[in-house]
Amino acid sequence: MTGYYLRYLQVLLRFFPIAIAFLRDRRRFLLFGPSRHVSAAVHRDRAERLTETMLELGPAFIKVGQVLSTRPDIVPPTYVEAFATLQDEVPEDAGGEPLTVVESELGDDLDLDTLEPVAGGSLAFVYTVDYEGERIALKVQRPGLAAIIERDLRVIRGLVPLLVTFADERQRYSIENVADDFEEIILEELDFEREASIMATIEDNFADDERIVVPTTYPELCSERIVAMEHVDGEKITDEDVLADVGIEPTEMATLIARTYLQMGLVDGVFHADPHPGNLAVTDDGRLVIYDYGMSQRLTQQEQDDITSLYRTLVRRDVDGLLNTLIALDVLDRSVDRVAVRRVLELVIENLEGKSDVSWREIITELFATLHEFPFRIPPNVMLLVRVGTVGEGVCRTLDPEFDFIAVTRSFLVEQGVIESEAEALLADVRTDLQDSAPALARAPARFDTVFGQLERGELVVRTDPVEPTTGGVAAAGDAIIAGALIVATALLTFHHQPLEVASAVLAVAFLGRYVRR
């Protein structure tokens, strides 16, 4: 218990200076005084300091930053961009010595004299070793890490009430929910058996695509703390000249990355959720390699359909469809004021349509930042798919600054039959309108006959009450009606061979003049 309180105090002290700066933005002298304006440069500096602090505090806080990079409802865009740069790169000595795990679990199965370290992450360390005449890779969880993360998660849960106290009212609901969500994501990432299973599934899904490499797993060597897999060499995808060396255009590779992740999330329902540059590589023969499946997810069929609908409605700028999808995904509560939300979503769409170059990050940021007026949450699956889109788009635009992620998404959805081409979409809208109108049109003749019958029998009475009292009274209203009737008569009489429209026009002007005078 002592360790928990010491850690809690340590975390408080690390974040205290930045917390004071934020509070002074609201009240210059903390308890009183006006708010103060802070420049974008100051916010960028704070975001970098927060990012460094999270890196120094260890794995749990790195994951918190990665999750917050998908939450523009909680943190401003400048901080979202900074947190999106957080990658699993921490010193090798963080946590215990991973080699002890290999020795205890695989010491009898492997020749440990051939073991070589490759890389370190926030949760694990990677080695290569010989196995049955082949070179394989081992992702090994740092010993004692689970206990450290459990302690840090308790610290984070303990900080939530403090954050809620000082947060804006509109942010409190999101903060309380996001704490549970990233705890679920982190604990799932500690389950290496789950990671190996998802990795094998994704490999099967891309078995027929020679352009994608998912390292093959060795189930007989995998455990709760070790993922044993094929060792695949590759150059980091964002390294200069790497694509030129293998004869691939940057736009071609960016398109392949985007379509691969769309395939995983929207078609297969099992996806890798951490496409930062450290997890993507290119082989000597130009194939795309995807590493590290710790942050990954499986979707139910309903979740897959709803998330596909989210992409579809955002790409098509379908306000009503977007509203229904957000409710179906539990982002918005079913009791939400639909009229008010629809009005807000229309503003989002209008803002986006006014821009010539719109990125997926801008769409998501605009959408969730605008919804802050309503209590809403982003479920973990949606959060991870948002991260896939924003981080993946960032990689694609690093390769090709002109890359249009939205256009590639639209093309992919058309190919999959999820949305129609522009002409087909127009025909579909017309068909839907006709189907909705058909019952009313079928009943129209009978209703017209009833109304005309009431008119002939003098049974139809129309009574109106003025919205505002008129200064001219009933007489002025009569003049206006007569003037209007004469104007219509003038228009009709223009087709007569006699110049009767002249007299009608004169009378119309006369009655209109009387109305104006009254």
Cα(5)–Cα(23) distance, integer angstroms: 24
Residues 338, 357 contacting (CB under 8 angstroms):
no
Measuring CA to CA, how many Å separate 79 from each of 27, 51, 86, 154? Answer: 21, 9, 11, 24
**DSSP string across 219-232:** TTT--SSEEEEE--
Cα(6)–Cα(186) distance, integer angstroms: 22
**DSSP string across 340-385:** HHHHHHHHHHHHHHT-SS--HHHHHHHHHHHGGGS-B---HHHHHH
Cα(37)–Cα(54) distance, integer angstroms: 26
Of all helices (H) and strands (E), which one includes residue 506? helix 500-517
pLDDT in tens, 366-417: 787 777 777 677 777 777 777 788 888 889 999 999 898 888 988 898 888 8
Cα(391)–Cα(518) distance, integer angstroms: 69
At residue 430, the pLDDT reads 55
At residue 92, the pLDDT reads 47
Residues 362, 333 contacting (CB under 8 angstroms):
no
Per the listing, tokens 């959805």 go with 413
At residue 463, the pLDDT reads 64
At residue 423, the pLDDT reads 45
Instruction: Tally Cβ neighbours within 10 Å of residue 28.
Output: 12
At residue 134, the pLDDT reads 93
What are phi and psi for residue 124, nearest 5 degrees? Answer: -150, 170
Query: b/e string for 271-293 if b means 16 or more Cβ within 10 A?
Result: bbbbbbbbbbbbeeebbbbbbbb
Residues 343, 381 contacting (CB under 8 angstroms):
no
At residue 1, the pLDDT reads 62
Cα(375)–Cα(332) distance, integer angstroms: 7
Per-residue pLDDT of the chain (518 residues; tens, 9 = 90+): 668 889 999 999 998 888 888 888 877 766 677 888 888 888 899 999 999 998 888 878 888 887 787 776 677 778 888 887 776 554 445 556 788 899 999 988 999 999 999 887 667 889 999 999 999 999 998 888 888 888 988 898 888 888 877 776 666 666 766 777 778 878 888 899 999 999 999 999 999 999 999 999 999 999 999 999 999 999 999 887 889 999 999 999 999 999 999 999 889 999 998 888 889 999 999 999 999 998 898 988 888 888 888 888 887 788 888 899 888 888 888 888 888 888 888 888 877 766 656 777 778 777 877 777 776 777 777 777 777 888 888 899 999 998 988 889 888 988 888 776 444 555 555 565 566 666 666 666 667 677 667 777 766 666 656 555 555 556 677 777 887 887 877 777 776 666 777 777 778 788 778 877 76
At residue 283, the pLDDT reads 94
pLDDT in tens, 279-326: 999 999 999 999 999 889 898 888 888 888 888 888 778 888 889 988
Cα(9)–Cα(11) distance, integer angstroms: 6
Question: Hey, is 486 helix, strand or coil?
Answer: helix
Taking alpha carbons only, the member of 312, 389, 308 closest to residue 69 is 389
